[in-house]
Amino acid sequence: MTLGRRMAQSEDRKNLEGLARSIDTLFSGTAADEPESEMDALIELEEDDPPASPLPDSELDAVAEPEVDSLPEPDAEAASEPDAQALPAAELDSPSEPVAADIAGPQATSAASDVEPNELENAVELYLGGGGAAETVQTLAARYLEDHEVDPVAGVVERLVLGAGDPPTPETMELAAELVTPIVRSRLVQLLGQERDEDRRVGYFLVCARLGEGMALAVRDEMAEATDRHARRIYFDALVAMGDVSHSVVEAMAEDENRFLARNAVAILGEVGGARAVELVLDALANTDPRVRREALLAMAKLKVEDADPLIMALLEDTDEGVRLAAIVAAGELRVERALRLLIAALDEAHEEEVVTPILHALGQLADPGAVASIEKHAVHHRFGGPRTEVRIVAYQSLSDIGTPHARRLLNQAVSDKDSEVKAAVKELLHMR
């Protein structure tokens, strides 16, 4: 069966991201009914529920040992997370992470009865001001933890790390690290996943990076367990933002049998690169899960992988439609000229906007005159109806990229188009006022 029959049912990175969103809108479900989304990141994160038992106890124990660490998503399986309205997918679920009492065990009725409510915070401020002792902060924090009061300690760790200066003072970072027990580390990551304020999230990203690889491991574990897509997107972004600190963790995720972690790792590698990024992304093309293969194709496009033509040509014939669309995106980004015939055939038989748009864009990137006739059908408005405005604009963009005399004539005619949005877009393409 040809690619065209199966599919009947950007010049820059910005366009590529938009295409990735189109792919995810068509081939992903919501967090409840099992995406990708409306974010700054190229890829979409894994939007279906992660496995019930994400990681073995041995891996969870590894989180207890702090070391030193990218992030980034960044929907995958994914940069750049603004406020809640700009987050992935259509609707955002309410955070499902447990509250402090859930993770810290029963609250002591005394609530650290021998510590005044603001004593620990005051001690930290005094220390940062140069008038306090580290031992006092440690003693007060230990009392809170003895009474299973984790949030106050997590809060002062954040305050110490962010107040350590730039570059951070070693003594202050050492004190912060001494307060980061496994449960404090986990709580910091959970609080990050619940944070809706962009500036606060950026602060948490810095805290994670400065506290080291142990935080990257904790982020990985929370990502595997989270059921809230908003939180998963934030964890993706955190790993990207952590840079080199999280790199070894992300590389290990890419080879994990958990396809949820593997998908997100491949998407992160597409964002941050690295010595093994191309190798791991190419390996992911053979993953049995189509969502991992799809992210690998999009990551290939972002990494500008060379000599990828045979792989992309093969995946243009993949059994999964989402993978085939991702291969179309990659074919355009990497200028796979051999894909022209298949793309034209697919465009001639495609109907859904989510399928037509990436094919049009890819043909424009290939810039082959042989595609003009097929693209024209999706640009010109017909008397009895025709393509939607969004499709027509992409078609005219592709004609502009190809730039043959006939393509230019079509653009010049569209300057007088009855659709004001099309007219404005064409005038911009022609650099007209």
Mean pLDDT of 149-165: 96
pLDDT per residue over 14-51, tens digit each? 455 555 555 554 444 433 344 443 333 333 444 444 44
Q: 176 Cβ partners below 8 Å, 6+ apart?
A: 157, 160, 161, 164, 210, 211
**Which tokens belong to 375?**
């693209």
Give the Cα separation of 92 and 85 in Å (integer). 9
Q: CA angle, corner 373, sides to 367 and 374, nearest 5?
A: 85
Residue 404 has pLDDT above 80, yes or no: yes
**336-376 tens-digit pLDDT:** 999 999 999 999 999 899 999 999 999 999 999 999 999 99
* Cα distance between residue 36 and residue 291, in whole Å: 11
Judging by beta carbons within 10 Å of its beta carbon (0-12, 13-18, 19+), is residue 382 exposed, middle or buried? exposed
Contact 83, 198 (CB under 8 A): yes
Q: Mean pLDDT lowest for which of 205-214, 325-334, 377-386?
A: 377-386
- Find how far residue 104's CA is from the centre of its chain: 30
User: Is 6 a residue whose pLDDT tops 80?
Assistant: no
Per-residue model confidence as pLDDT tens digits over 105-148:
333 333 344 455 589 999 999 999 998 899 999 999 999 999 99
pLDDT digits (tens, 9 = 90+) for 261-286: 999 999 999 999 988 999 999 999 99
Exposure letters 14-49 (e unless 16+ CB within 10 A, then b): ebbbbbbbbbbbbbbeebeeebbbbbebbbbbbbbe
Query: Would you place residue 383 in the very low, low, confident or very high pLDDT band (cuts 50, 70, 90)?
Result: low
Backbone angle region of 369, left / alpha / beta, with phi > 0 → left and psi within -120 to 50 → alpha: alpha
pLDDT tops 50 at residue 294: yes
Task: Return the bridge partners of 385, or none.
Answer: 382
Exposure b/e, 290-324, CB count within 10 A at least 16 = b: bbbbbbbbbbbbbbebeebeebbeebbebebbbbb
pLDDT grade for 103, boundaries at 50, 70 and 90: very low
